Chain A
C-alpha cells in the first residue's frame, strides 16, 4: 500500500497543480505537502524492507535493499529541493523572469518527474523500468527549455535526442536479456527475479551484447563519458532545483538500472565482463571530468562535470566489487546529499549575481555568507576532503582497487587530485575577493537558506554518525556485487 501511495502522491500533486489558477501559494503548498508525504512513505517502505528484506505491492511493484536506498535518497533530497523550489521560483518571479504560468508548468512537470523516478525504482519489470526512465526524459525536456532562450532550446534538444537515442539502446539491450525467460514460457510480465533465474541460460555473446547496449543506454542517463555531452549543457540551462534532482536522484535511478542488469549478466558470463566495462567507463569519466573541471568558466557546468566524476567513482567501486561496491553505494548517498546542497547553493549565487559565469562572481563570502560557507562545505565534501563521508568512500574504493587494478587506481587517484586542485582554484576565485559594487550583501528568503542548511546538517552528521540501519541496507544490497 505504501508503494501505491508513494506513486499516487506525485500523480495527484501534478493533477492538482494543473487545476490551480492564479494562486502560487497553493502550488507551493501542494509541492511541500507532497514531498513531505513522499519522504514519510519512503521511510515507512525502508522500515518495512529492514523488517522483511523486501516490500511488495502486488506482483508488479516491489522494493528490495538496493531499491530502498535509491528510494530513500530520492525522497530525502526531494523534500528540501521542493522547499527550495518555492523560494527560487518566488525570487525569479520577483525579478520578472517568470510568471504564474511558468511556475504552474514547473510544478506539474516537477511532480511528474518525481513520479517517473519512483515508478522506475519500484517496478519489478525491466520493461516498465525502461518506460519510467524514458518518462523522466519526457517530463524534464520542457524544464530544460524552461526559460525559452535559444541556448536553453539548444540544450533541451540535445538532451532529448541524445537521451532518446541512449534509451533506445537500453531498450534493445533489455529485450535481448528477455529471450531465455520468454523461451522458458513466461507469458506474464517478466520480473527481475525471472530475469535472474533465467540468466544462466543466456547465450554468452547475446548476454554481452545486451549488457553493452544497456550500459551505453542507461550510461547516457548516468552521464558516463563519452555519452555525457548533454549533461553540462542541460545543467547550465535548467532551473537549479531540477538540476539538483538530476544530479542527486536521476543519476542514481539510472545507475540502479545498470546494477540490476549487472546481476543478470554476472549470472550468465561471470563478474569479470561487467566489472571491466564499469572500470573502463568509470576511469575515463573521472579523467575527462577532471580536465574539464580545470578548464571551466561556468559554475553550473563545473558542478555538472563533478557529477560525471562521481558517476565514474561509483562505477569504479562497482567495477572493483566487494568492499568497493559497498563504498560505491554509500558514495551514492553522500553524493546525492552533497551535490543537491551544492546546486541549491549555486542557485542562491545565481539569484544574487544573475550570472553563471565564474568571472562575474566574486566575493560570495561577503555578499552571501551562509550560502558561501555552505558552498565551501560542499566543495570540501565532493572533492573528498576529511572528515566528510566521501573521503571514506573514495578511500575505500581506491583501496579495493589497488590490488587488482593498480594502474587504474593510480590514474583515478590522480584524476581525483586534479579535480580538487581545479575546483579549489575556482572556489577561491568565486568566494573571496571584491564583489561588484552593484551587488548588495544579504541572503535571500528563508526558503532559499533553510533547505541548504538542512542538507548541510545531514551531510555533516552522516559523515560522523551513519545510522546502523542504513549501513545494514547498504551492506545487504551490495553483498551480491
Chain B
C-alpha cells in the first residue's frame, strides 16, 4: 500500500525535477504557478505516504498543512496577483532559452559527478533520487538568479524549499512534527508577505520586472 520502492521514489523525485526545469522555460506566469502547485502536490504526497507508513497522526497533520499551504494557499495568492495586475507573461530572463538549457544540463551533470558520491552515506537505495533533489535545489537557485520577474523569484524560493524538503525526506532527515509545522507556518507567512510586497512593487514600478528597480543605484 505504501510507496517504498526506490524506483517509485525516483520517479516522484523526477516529477519534482521536471517541474523546476519547466519553471525555468515557462513563458506564462500561470503555467509556472501550475508547475509549482504540481511540484508541491508531489511533496505533500510523499509526506502523506510517510505518515501512513509510520501511522503518525502528527506527520499526517504536517502533510495536510503542506498541502493546504503550498498546493492551495500559495497558488491562490499567486493567481490573484496575476489576475489583479494582468501579469500574463513572464518571459524576461537574463540568459536566452538555449543558454538556460545548457546551464541546466551543466548543473545536473555536476550533481551527478563523483564530487557528490559521499552523499550516498545518507541513503544508499535512494541515492539517485537524492542527487536529483540536489539538482532541483541548484536549478531552483538558478530560477531566482536568471528570471527577472518578482513572481518567478518567489516561485524559485518556494521550489528550493520543496527541493530541500524532498531531499530531507529521501535521506531520512525529517525532524519531528513540531518543527515541521513551524516551518510550514513560516512558509505561509513568507508567501503572504512576499505577495503583498510584489503587489506594492507593482504599484510603485508598474511592473514586476525586478530589473526595473534602479532607485538604489543612484546612491
Contact = CB atoms under 8 A, between A and B. Distances in A.
Do A and B interact?
yes
Contacts of B168: 175
B178 to A, nearest CB: 7
B102 interface: no
A128 to B, nearest CB: 6
B203 to A, nearest CB: 9
Interface residues of B, number: 40
Given A157-B197, A161-B157, A206 B216 contact: no
Contacts of A182: 172-174
Interface string B162-194: 001001100111111011001100100110011
Contact of A153 (B122, B157, B172, B204): B204
B179 to A, nearest CB: 4
Nearest to A135: B186
A266 to B, nearest CB: 19
Nearest to A167: B186
A157 B210 contact: yes
Interface string A398-418: 000000000000000000000
Q: How large is the interface on A (under 10, 10 to 19, 20 to 34, 35 or more residues)?
A: 35 or more
Given A179-B171, A179-B173, A168 B157 contact: yes
Interface in B99-131: 118-119, 121-122
A127 B144 contact: no
B201 A157 contact: yes
B197 A160 contact: yes
A68 to B, nearest CB: 24
B189 A150 contact: no
Nearest to A296: B219
B215 interface: yes
Interface of A: 125, 127-128, 131, 134-135, 138, 141-142, 145, 148-151, 153-158, 160-161, 164-165, 168, 171-172, 175-176, 178-179, 182-183, 187-190, 203, 205-206, 233, 236, 297-298, 301, 357
Interface of B: 118-119, 121-122, 137, 141, 144, 150, 153, 157, 160-161, 164, 167-168, 171-176, 178-179, 182-183, 186, 189-190, 193-194, 197, 200-201, 204-205, 210, 213, 215-216, 219
22 contacts: A127-B175, A142-B193, A145-B197, A148-B200, A150-B205, A150-B213, A151-B219, A157-B197, A157-B210, A165-B157, A172-B164, A172-B167, A175-B173, A178-B175, A179-B122, A179-B173, A182-B172, A182-B174, A183-B172, A187-B176, A189-B176, A236-B216
